[in-house]
Structure 1
Amino acid sequence: MSTDLTSKIEIIAELAQGFEGRPDQARLLIKAAAAAGADAAKFQLVYADEVATTDYKYYELFRSLEMSDAVWKSLATYAAELEIKLYMDVFGKKSLHLAEKIEVAAVKIHGTDITNIGLLNEVAGSSIQKVLLGAGGAYLSEIEQAMEVLSNKTVVVLLGFQGYPTPDEDNQIDRVRLLAQRLGRYPNVIVGFADHVLPGSPLRYVLAAVAMGAGARVLEKHLTLGQIMKLEDHEAALNPDEFLAFSQTIRGCMQALGNAEEIDDFGMSEAEQAYRKMIRRHVVSNRALKNGTKISPEDVGLKRTPAEFVITDLSSVYQRILKRDIQQNSPILLADIN
Structure 2
Amino acid sequence: MNPTTVSLGSRQVGDGAPCFVLAEVASAHGGSSETALRMLEAAFKMGADGIKFQLFRSEQLVVRRHPGRKDFDEIELGVKEWRKLLRAARASGLALLVEAFDHDSLELAAEEGADAFKVHSTDMENPELIRQVAETGKPVLFATGGVPDDAVRQALDLVGSAPVILLHGFQTFPTPVEEIRFRELAAWKERYRLPVGFLDHTDGGSGFALVAPALAVAWGANLVEKHFTLDRSKKGYDYQSSLNPEDFYRMVELLRQAERAAGDSPASESEGARRYHRTMARSIVAGTLIKRGDVLTREMLAYKRTDARFDPGFPPRQADRVIGRRATRPIQADETIREDMLE
Give the alignment's TM-score, normalised by structure 1: 0.72
**Alpha-carbon separation, structure 1, partners of 2:177 and 2:45:** 28
**Alpha-carbon separation, structure 2, partners of 1:235 and 1:131:** 27
**1:288-303 alignment to 2 at 5 Å?**
none
CA contact (8 A) 1:111 1:134 kept: yes
Deviations 1:130-153 (Å, cap 9, x if unpaired)? 111111112322212211112232
**Alpha-carbon separation, structure 1, partners of 2:232 and 2:13:** 34
Q: Which amino acid aligns with 2:225?
A: E
* 2:77 partner SS: coil
Pick the structure with greater CA Rg.
1
Give the structure 1 partner of residue 78 of structure 2: 68
Deviations 1:140-183 (Å, cap 9, x if unpaired)? 22212211112232111111111122111111110100010111
| Stretch deviating more after TM superposition (242-251 or 51-60) | 51-60
CA contact (8 A) 1:12 1:38 kept: yes
**1:65-104 alignment to 2 at 5 Å?**
65-104=75-114
Give the structure 2 partner of residue 240 of structure 1: 245
* 1:49 partner SS: helix
* 1:235 partner SS: helix
Deviations 1:253-291 (Å, cap 9, x if unpaired)? 12222321xxxxxxxxxxxxxxxxxxxxxxxxxxxxxxx
1:121 to 125, 128, 131: 131
Greater RCO (Cα-Cα under 8 Å, separation 6 or more):
2
**Alpha-carbon separation, structure 1, partners of 2:232 and 2:71:** 20
Q: CA deviation at 1:81?
A: 3.0
Q: Extract structure 1 runs of 4+ deviating beyond 3 A.
A: none
Q: CA deviation at 1:5?
A: 4.1
Q: Give 5+ residue unaligned stretches, structure 2.
A: 6-11, 266-343
Give the structure 2 partner of residue 57 of structure 1: 67
CA contact (8 A) 1:29 1:224 kept: yes
2:158 to 149, 173, 177: 149
Q: Which amino acid aligns with 2:232?
A: Q
CA contact (8 A) 1:14 1:42 kept: yes
**Alpha-carbon separation, structure 2, partners of 1:164 and 1:198:** 8
Does the alignment pair 1:16 with 2:26? yes
**Alpha-carbon separation, structure 1, partners of 2:107 and 2:182:** 34
Q: CA deviation at 1:250?
A: 0.8
Deviations 1:40-62 (Å, cap 9, x if unpaired)? 11111121022111221222221
1:134 to 143, 164, 167: 143
1:176 to 159, 177, 185: 185
Give the structure 2 partner of residue 164 of structure 1: 173
Does the alignment pair 1:47 with 2:57? yes
Q: CA deviation at 1:18?
A: 0.9
Give the structure 1 partner of residue 258 of structure 2: 253
Q: CA deviation at 1:103?
A: 1.1
Aligned-residue Cα RMSD (Å) equals 1.5
**Alpha-carbon separation, structure 2, partners of 1:21 and 1:34:** 21
**Alpha-carbon separation, structure 2, partners of 1:136 and 1:165:** 14
Q: Which amino acid aligns with 1:78?
A: A
**Alpha-carbon separation, structure 1, partners of 2:71 and 2:173:** 18
State the aligned residue count: 255
Give the alignment's TM-score, normalised by structure 2: 0.71
Deviations 1:213-264 (Å, cap 9, x if unpaired)? 111101001100011111211111000000000111112212222321xxxx
Q: CA deviation at 1:91?
A: 1.0
- The share of aligned pairs that are identical, in percent, is 30
